[in-house]
Structure 1
Amino acid sequence: MSWVKHILVVFASLLCANLHAGEQTINKLTINQQKQLQLIEQDQVVLTTPVEGLWSIGHQAKGLSELNYTHANFNKVELVADWQIFSGEMVTDQGTWQLSDSCQQVNEFAGALIKCIRRYHWTGQQTLENVVLSVRWQTPQQYTQVVMPSVVYHGNPSAKKNNPNAIAHLSQQPGEFAQFEEHRLSMPYVSLEWQNKQSMFGAAVHTIPSQIMGGNRADLWWSAGMQYRAGKSEIRLLSGPIGYNKQADRAKVYQFSSLPYANATIRVKPNSTIEKVYYLQAYSGFNKGAGFSEAMQASLAIFQPFNTQGLPSFKQIVANKTRFLLTRYMQGTSSNGVEYAGFNMFDHNYRQQLVMGWAGQSDAPGYALLALGHLNNKQEWINKAKASLDFLAQAKFDSLNGFTVNFNAKPGTWTHHAFKKLDPTSGKYIGDPVSQGQAMYMFAKAIQFAKRMAKEGKTIDTSQWQQFLLKVADYHSQRILQASWQPESTNQAFLVAPLVLASQLFENPIYFQAAVKASEHYANRHIDMNEPYWGGTLDATGEDKEGAWGAFQAFLTMYQVTKQPKYLAWAKHAAEVMLSYTVVWDIDMPAGRLTDHGFKSTGWTAVSPQNQHLDVYGVLTTPAIYQLGEYLQDDQLKQLAKVMYLSCGQLIDPYGSQGEQIQQTNFAQSKHNISQAGENAAADSYRGGYSEEWTVLWITTHFLTSAAMFEEMGVEL
């Protein structure tokens, strides 16, 4: 009898013994006739080890460009309690590796989730140079869609179309790969989904992120990724090498470019033991485009990002942010005689601009300070909120582009963008629907809250706000209801929620019709993930968290008004895409500003596959996440919303200020930090850094907008 047949017989008898003992065996690994381990889901093979063997180790490797694998397979199988242990040896000219994978079903998780500990023990007498360890699992399908949270979403098709050199993208072609440092992933897994006949199947490999010992370059971590091969897709973990867009050994360090990442290999000394913990997951029966959700639920189960102990308190955060916001209030007369009042996007000594929406959020205090001022009996806050919205309601308007969102205080001029110089007389559309939608929402929320105040005996004049909202709601609803309306990206989803509120405030069904049309449009475009949510942030050109947030807000608002289940299902999908950008683990940092503060990354959110730093933007979404948790009766969602809000309160300085960019990975967008690193900066020059000089107003207002909403909801964080 051959050794593999012997293993199969022994393995089958052990499984039968366990079955008779009442132990669960349905999702355990099995062995096929080709001596491969395989994971079965609904009678379909979803993951197998490579035909070359369970273990592949690169010797004298040059990185991702030249891995130089040596392969080996297991020759022994044991069942110890509820562990399956597969062990064997890899014999080389320099000596022998003793290898094993110990695997255990995670019974606390509802689906097929298997924890594995891979052990590499080098028994040779000499130190090995330039080694690459690996974990490789393959699906029997080439045409799979991949999600690597915060980095790749179904191949990033919009990124490929708009800026293929700046962002990772995949087209399911053999030879394509995406391999990134584990600390670049908000949720450290790689998931694949595919269709087999009429059913959807999916698989994921989760990793417990770790720095690898013996690195031949500084701060070397394991990497996670995938590669398309002829007839199959491979998920792989590697002890260092990275690359993307067919560029091996390159790190995406900047918005639009990469840097070399050479020597991403390790040295292994005699009698060294290295272990890698990872999880295998299989699932089926989901809707197209929703496979990543199964992996996301497993990631939450593995990392349990629900602890608020040691985080700043809600009361502290709101007090600090309110104090800082009030320092940004400005009032005066422009050189052309315009009298203005409002909240500056920037420090007064840098620029004086009132900018609605996106990064400015000068409109947001009109709602937040109004609500918090009323709830805390602060008349000064109410007065400033009213003065700011009274002025912003005077924004210039034209029938092609809608309203201007940027007021330059010194000259007293209005423009359609805060940073771009565009000609409104060119005849081409230059409007900013992201900022316009977000500003409309704040006006609508302020009007809505003022009605509550009136019922409680506190009346303020909102006539200017109402006239403004009526005018712009007319404009956007008419534009959306035109047969020719075809938005470029998800950016116009931000118009849905304010149109719904406006339809209620002014009893105008036309606004609601436009909201319905836009919601249906975005569901048709994005739910199956053929085109993932994108375009919600103005400084990126591909898939992003903020695009998913726009859709989530739209769908959730529609559900709250209609109670139609389809809107709740759509809201859940968009929310889960958005939440996949949320960091669920505390990323170990090198020495720097972040370690100076004992920074915890759990709860912060990555921006986009193009801009791969962390920021506090997720705070704005937390009331909606909490509400979704109530609708779905999901307490974990509600707790995650609390963690996200409180965790982002870290790094607030004594003045109440906070910087925009957390450099948790090998990426920098801050001009200041890039300048400091110099012309010859290496790929690992930036990780652990913090950009605090860019203190745009949204970093403050998002906390207070959400605080006001939580106060209205009666939720205590």
Structure 2
Amino acid sequence: MGALEANGRTAELVRTPAGVVLRLGLTGVDPAYVDRSVAELLSCSAGRPWQPNPLEPEGWWISRRGREHRAGCRSGPLAVELRLAFDSAARLSVELRWRNTGHRRLGDLAVGLLLDLGRLTDSQITVPGLLYNDNPSADRARPVPRVGPAPGGGFVAEEDRLPIPGVNLEWRTGRARRRLSVFSQPVARHSSDGVVRYGSLGVIRREGPVIAALSGVLMFDGKQDVRYVSKAETETTGDGYLTLLPGESYDQHLVVDWGPQEHRGHAFRHLVRTGRSLFAEPGAKPLDLDEIVARKTQALDSRWFRAGTVAGYTKFSEVAGNGPAKARHFLYGWTGQALKLAWCDARLGFDCGDQERIERCRAAVGFYLAGSSTGTPGLRHNAYQLGGRRWTSFRWGGRPMVSSRAYGETVADLAEIVTLFRAHGEVVPDAWLAALTEALDFFRAGLLPDGTFPIGWRLDGSPAAATVSAAGIPCVLAALKAVPVLDDAGLLPQAITWLSRYHDQHARTFDRPFARSTLDAACEDKEAGMYYFLAAYESFRLTGDELFAGWAEVAADWLLTFVYVWSPELDTGSPLREAGFSAVGWPTVSVQNHHLDVFFPTAELLAFGAGTGRPEYVEAAWTAIGAMGQGIAGRPGEWGFEVVGEQGEAFFQTHWQRRGTSNTWNPSWVIALVLANALRIRDHG
């Protein structure tokens, strides 16, 4: 029998004098994508620490039938069998069975696939949520997942840490680019004490990058048995080793997908699409949109503060036992989102005919604009401290800094409030329009020499740093949001020029993926890509130019690498398991912070998908907003909160901080993002 074939792909196991060889390729295309000895691709290690050693086979058998190829061998008492077969979507199913054929228990085992393609030219790696071209923007002084350039490096993590349990490689052969992904279909292993374990996935560096799909052992920075457990923290662990009793087997269910790659750096898009087709878990939807809005509105109301002219929404709750006790302050943008909360209040007021809510929004905006100036025209502080009655900003290098990310978000929210008021015939104060104009004039003058925005500005308007980052993209979004409300013919082309700079810096090739938008994590992060997506979508909405729809689509796929398509099973008795929590639809945060949170452009993803005939984004958005209804307190005492509508910032689905739990850290952005998304999505019915 010949090679297996499906939709132009070929796969086969071939007996040679040296053993059995695995070949993967495309019909009529040379050289093959994979042409390696199976013994070199399988790894078996006994003892601690585990070693990425090739299998030492004791003779092979092989079977080549019409729809499947199988081969097997023994290595001491351990027998391994490999089965290949194409599925109906022309993806290659790879089944591995490791069986103890001896009479004694085999312990401290590490087995699996090490798919070594040899030296690769111009390669890129994507491990969803964890590795993006080896995280070039991550702070080198912090422990963060990396493979590294030298042989011996590597990062291997638990499968439950990956939103899409797969690894993607992209490289160049001659003038053509290629891609290959390995997916695991995770199967939980249960111990007698109720602990749940999964296999592991990652990349090890030899001559080139090697995809590792193993039985659960871990690696961090090339060191075996090291786990990444919190922000820039690791610990040694003996977890992940396999024990097989006589006659017992361990099975791996893998899928391999490969093909040509048209756009350099964009192979992750195939990983997303294949991953989302492999996993069909529906996700949870404990609340409908009206219930989400009702609960979050109660939380919003509990944050409202007014004393004379001081008006706004506190970042943390003043109710005892309702989250951390912190000094009262308003934070504009980032984890405060004070003006987004004002937009939500006004939107609720217009929807329900509640003038008091509209006036609360007006008062909050008025207070912010009246006192927040740094003294530099158009540049405003990021926070107001209620106790000290003073305006403050973030700090960078020991000195005050106005964050471009937080300030851009706030100016964008101001533009949206103006749009909302005008849409309902409400008077817009001249001071609001003047503040928008001043902010945009400052943005025009506040660029770095490369045409992007700095991470932030000193109070005199000078850049705080020249670090390459995506942090300033919210300033682009602010300009785009201001286009419909200001009489400024040059604003739209200027904003598009700014966006184009970020496109060239990040999204054209993803040599340097979106990074450094999350202010407490100097690394590749979801929120950096989120604001690029929002700016690209807004550019498309304003111009109708399909170029920007294409940019938004690429960014949407990059964001979806952070979104869970499956729900890892949690330990027996853990709070999230007892609550029936599902991770499907939840995004993680960054390559440094591996928890789940609700910061996601859910409403805009839905609108983009619906408006451009891209139903996969509509489906992803509905799944996300349904998922984010989990963990919202419905009564005092639920989820650790005393106020209805509160929700923790972090849910822990893997061994990062406290697996199987959520926290009660509840800054006001957790109210603002979910409520704003639910209000917008409710318009879609």
Whether TM exceeds 0.5 here: the answer is yes
Partner of 2:402: 431
- Provide Cα deviations, 1:246-299, integer angstroms capped at 9, x if missing partner: 222111112122000225312110111221111001021320110011111000
Aligned counterpart in structure 2 of residue 659 of structure 1, from 644, 648, 653 = 648
Partner of 1:382: 358
Q: 1:85, 1:100 within 8 Å by CA — same for their partners in 2?
A: no
Question: Structure 1 residues 521 and 25 mapped into 2: Cα distance closer, same or farther (>3 Å)?
Answer: closer
Question: Structure 1 residues 102 and 423 mapped into 2: Cα distance closer, same or farther (>3 Å)?
Answer: closer
1:687 Cα deviation after fit: 1.4
Partner of 2:575: 593
SS at match of 1:178: strand
1:217 Cα deviation after fit: 12
| 1:697 equivalenced with 2:674 (yes/no) | no
Q: 2:378, 2:442 within 8 Å by CA — same for their partners in 1?
A: no
Aligned counterpart in structure 1 of residue 487 of structure 2, from 507, 530, 551 = 507
- Letter of the 1:492 counterpart: G
Structure 2 spans left out of the alignment, 5+ residues: 320-324, 455-466, 636-643
Deviates more, 1:32-41 or 1:287-296: 32-41
Aligned counterpart in structure 1 of residue 584 of structure 2, from 602, 617, 627 = 602
| 1:192 equivalenced with 2:169 (yes/no) | yes
Q: 2:13, 2:64 within 8 Å by CA — same for their partners in 1?
A: no
Partner of 2:660: 688
Determine the C-alpha separation between the residues in 2 that align with 1:180 and 1:127.
26
| 1:291 equivalenced with 2:267 (yes/no) | yes
1:503 Cα deviation after fit: 2.8
Aligned counterpart in structure 2 of residue 315 of structure 1, from 290, 293, 301 = 290
Alignment of 1:139-150 (within 5 A): 139-143=117-121, 144-150=123-129
Partner of 1:46: 33
SS at match of 2:420: helix
Deviates more, 1:606-615 or 1:168-177: 168-177
Q: 2:284, 2:627 within 8 Å by CA — same for their partners in 1?
A: no
Partner of 1:125: 103
SS at match of 1:628: helix
Q: 2:42, 2:54 within 8 Å by CA — same for their partners in 1?
A: no
Determine the C-alpha separation between the residues in 1 that align with 2:578 and 2:239.
29
1:141 Cα deviation after fit: 3.6
SS at match of 2:181: strand
Partner of 1:634: 614
Alignment of 1:31-430 (within 5 A): 31=13, 35-41=20-26, 42-50=29-37, 52-53=39-40, 55-59=42-46, 61-65=47-51, 69-71=55-57, 74-79=60-65, 82=67, 84-92=68-76, 95-97=77-79, 99-107=80-88, 109=89, 112-143=90-121, 144-159=123-138, 162-212=139-189, 219-230=196-207, 232-262=208-238, 264-305=240-281, 307=282, 310-333=285-308, 339-348=309-318, 350=325, 351-394=327-370, 395-399=372-376, 402-417=379-394, 423-424=399-400, 430=401
Question: Structure 1 residues 580 and 484 mapped into 2: Cα distance closer, same or farther (>3 Å)?
Answer: closer
TM-score, with length taken from structure 2 = 0.89
- Letter of the 1:464 counterpart: A
Deviates more, 1:307-316 or 1:275-284: 307-316
| 1:490 equivalenced with 2:470 (yes/no) | yes
Q: 1:134, 1:238 within 8 Å by CA — same for their partners in 2?
A: yes
Question: Structure 1 residues 48 and 175 mapped into 2: Cα distance closer, same or farther (>3 Å)?
Answer: farther
Q: 1:50, 1:137 within 8 Å by CA — same for their partners in 2?
A: no
- Letter of the 1:524 counterpart: D
**CA RMSD across the alignment:** 2.5
1:197 Cα deviation after fit: 2.4
Determine the C-alpha separation between the residues in 2 that align with 1:86 and 1:483.
56
TM-score, with length taken from structure 1 = 0.85
- Letter of the 2:437 counterpart: L
Partner of 1:462: 429
1:171 Cα deviation after fit: 3.8
Q: Which has the higher helix share?
A: 1
| 1:707 equivalenced with 2:682 (yes/no) | no
- Provide Cα deviations, 1:153-188, integer angstroms capped at 9, x if missing partner: 0010111xx234321123443222111111111111
1:356 Cα deviation after fit: 0.5
Aligned counterpart in structure 2 of residue 448 of structure 1, from 384, 402, 419 = 419
Determine the C-alpha separation between the residues in 2 that align with 1:450 and 1:285.
47
Question: Structure 1 residues 312 and 67 mapped into 2: Cα distance closer, same or farther (>3 Å)?
Answer: farther
Q: 1:38, 1:47 within 8 Å by CA — same for their partners in 2?
A: yes
Partner of 1:19: none
Structure 1 spans left out of the alignment, 5+ residues: 1-10, 16-22, 334-338, 425-429, 669-685
Question: Structure 1 residues 103 and 609 mapped into 2: Cα distance closer, same or farther (>3 Å)?
Answer: same
Partner of 1:529: 510
Question: Structure 1 residues 73 and 224 mapped into 2: Cα distance closer, same or farther (>3 Å)?
Answer: farther
1:539 Cα deviation after fit: 0.7
1:541 Cα deviation after fit: 0.4
Q: 2:536, 2:548 within 8 Å by CA — same for their partners in 1?
A: yes
Determine the C-alpha separation between the residues in 2 that align with 1:603 and 1:559.
25
| 1:570 equivalenced with 2:551 (yes/no) | yes
SS at match of 2:675: helix
- Letter of the 2:95 counterpart: I
Deviates more, 1:125-134 or 1:258-267: 258-267
